[in-house]
Amino acid sequence: MAKNLFPVFDVPSTLAEEPEITERYLPAPMWNVETGDFVMDGAGKLLYGSGYDAWVLWCTKSILTQRWAHCAYSPNAGIEADEAFKEPGHKAVESTFERTITEALLSDPMGRTAQVRDFVFSWEGDNLWLECTVVGRDGNTASIKTKLNK
pLDDT of residue 109: 85
pLDDT of residue 20: 47
Q: How far is CA 135 from CA 52, 55, 150, in A?
A: 11, 11, 27
The domain ranges of the chain are 44-148
| Residue 78: band (very low, low, confident or very high) from pLDDT cuts 50, 70, 90 | confident
Pick the CATH number of 44-148 from 2.40.37.10, 3.40.120.10, 3.10.450.40, 3.40.50.620: 3.10.450.40
**CA–CA dist 32, 16 (Å, integer):** 42
| Residue 118: band (very low, low, confident or very high) from pLDDT cuts 50, 70, 90 | very high
* Pairing, β 48-49 against β 37-38: unpaired
What is the C-alpha radius of gyration for the chain, rounded to an integer number of angstroms? 23
pLDDT, tens digit, for every residue of 34-61?
Answer: 888 889 998 989 999 888 888 999 899 9
Residue-averaged pLDDT of the chain: 84
pLDDT of residue 1: 54
pLDDT of residue 49: 87
